[in-house]
Structure 1
Amino acid sequence: MIFLSIRRLAFGVAVMLSLTALGGCAVPSSKTQSEREAEVAAHEKAAAESGNVMAEYLYASHLVGQNDLAGAFVYFLKAAQAGDALAQAKVAGYYYYGSGGVTKDYAAAASWMRKSAEQGNDRAQFSLSTMYAEGVGVPKDKAKQIEWLEKAAWQYNRDALNALTRVGDPHGVVQKVEANRDAFLRASNANVQAERLQQAVQQQNSQPAPQRLCPVTMGSVTGLAPC
């Protein structure tokens, strides 16, 4: 998933900022891939426990990969409550499907999905439009369905573009988006990466001075970062 990859890049930038600020020195790693992944996960968990929102999301995603859906929900919820749009959509999914031991609650799912959609998450916007179309968690409302489809379509969400075409595209959004596809995608990708990297810097700058260092591996390089 592109957003998760960008977040890992941004989190790596934060780690490297720590190394630079502390005069840390990176050294080659002789660890196996699984050992490196375990160390990265451990660092994500430590950062998540200290309130780093990006790390909360990343560690939750790691737990999903370990099939620990209940544990992942705890960290997704923390990040969602802190205002993270991607985490809010994840929490909405838990309530929608009743995953990880969470009681199914369509109204709660719609509420969290709306929070994410209002922050510009195109997937959440499309999902919310579907909920309005089907009357799940919200009253059935075609005008709201189209409104959220259009918002997602302007971000070149292919599902939204297809859905808008099926409902008649009353404002001609599909044609406008397709006419400017290449320029739009370049701008969109640049904005996403800039936002994630800026978030990494802000997260790092907001952290108090660390008291000790722990080994951290990013790719094939191992260095020291705040525990």
Structure 2
Amino acid sequence: PRAQGGDAAAMFKYALILMEGEGVPRDKVKADDYMRKAAEGGNPSAEFNWAQLLIADNPGEKGLKLALPFYEKSAEQGIADSQYAVAQIYATLKDLPEEKKQLAREWMARAARAGFDTAQLDLGIWLVNGVGGPKDYVKGFEWLKLAANGGNVAAQNKLAHLYINAIGTPPNPIEAAKWYVLSRRAGLADPSLEDFYLGIEDDQQKAAIEAANKFRRR
């Protein structure tokens, strides 16, 4: 009844029920309609989900442009997934106003500060490469290390490269090898890191493996 009465939170929950078929027959058309209404009613989670549906149903730039206003509203209400999406769209969509493009890194930082590990990874990469603003190797290293410590495998791989090349940190072959071992165990192959690992001393390999064995997510 609350969903039918226009309660945005209730409409969002009912849309999810219809999507999953929990106690009712699955009905994508009806689910999408309730999700749209919940998004238009200002529910931040519905705004994110409706934006996702718009992108899925409208490939390419058209979907991004349709979804962006809903991502923006959701991002303003603190949804980290939406903040990340806004950052990526601001950074990649060509015909946006310049003032929006300049906010891409700030939105990525907001998602990263909220604990979203993929945003932490991308913010670190952006800072190292100078995407969306000036390069800052030290801060880039710090964000990548935070994501790596949280278990993000891609960040662990990137961190190994930073330790090898002394980017944002003094060089440290044992730390580099440790992070490579962890990312390799998780299934991320990297021939250049394998060559590096095979080229270090046996005692360094042993120390790296011991450090990797002691690693616990933070």
- 1:138: how far off? 2.5
Is the CA contact 2:91–2:101 (under 8 Å) kept in the aligned structure 1? yes
- The CA distance in 2 between the partners of 1:72 and 1:103, in whole Å, is 16
Deviation string, structure 1 residues 76-107 (Cα, Å, up to 9, x no partner): 011011111110010001111016x5346553
Is the CA contact 2:11–2:37 (under 8 Å) kept in the aligned structure 1? no
Partner residue of 1:140? 135
Instruction: Name stretches of at least 5 consecutive residues in structure 1 with no aligned partner.
Output: 1-10, 19-25, 189-227
Partner residue of 1:213? none
- 1:177: how far off? 8.7
Aligned with 1:167: secondary structure? helix
Q: Does 1:102 align with 2:96?
A: yes
- The CA distance in 2 between the partners of 1:179 and 1:110, in whole Å, is 35
For this pair of structures, how many residues does the alignment match? 161
Deviation string, structure 1 residues 27-75 (Cα, Å, up to 9, x no partner): 753xxx7xx2121111111111121111110000000001122111110
Is the CA contact 1:76–1:87 (under 8 Å) kept in the aligned structure 2? yes
Partner residue of 2:150? 155
Instruction: Name stretches of at least 5 consecutive residues in structure 2 with no aligned partner.
Output: 1-9, 183-209
Is the CA contact 1:60–1:73 (under 8 Å) kept in the aligned structure 2? yes
Q: TM-score, normalised by structure 2?
A: 0.63
- The CA distance in 1 between the partners of 2:77 and 2:145, in whole Å, is 27
Is the CA contact 1:95–1:103 (under 8 Å) kept in the aligned structure 2? no
Cα 1:13/1:156, change in 2 over 3 Å = farther
Instruction: Find 1:89's aligned residue among 75, 84, 89.
Output: 84
Partner residue of 1:115? 110
Structure with greater strand share of residues: 1
Structure of larger gyration radius? 2
RMSD over aligned Cα atoms:
3.3
Letter in 1 for 2:213: A
Q: TM-score, normalised by structure 1?
A: 0.61
Cα 1:157/1:27, change in 2 over 3 Å = closer
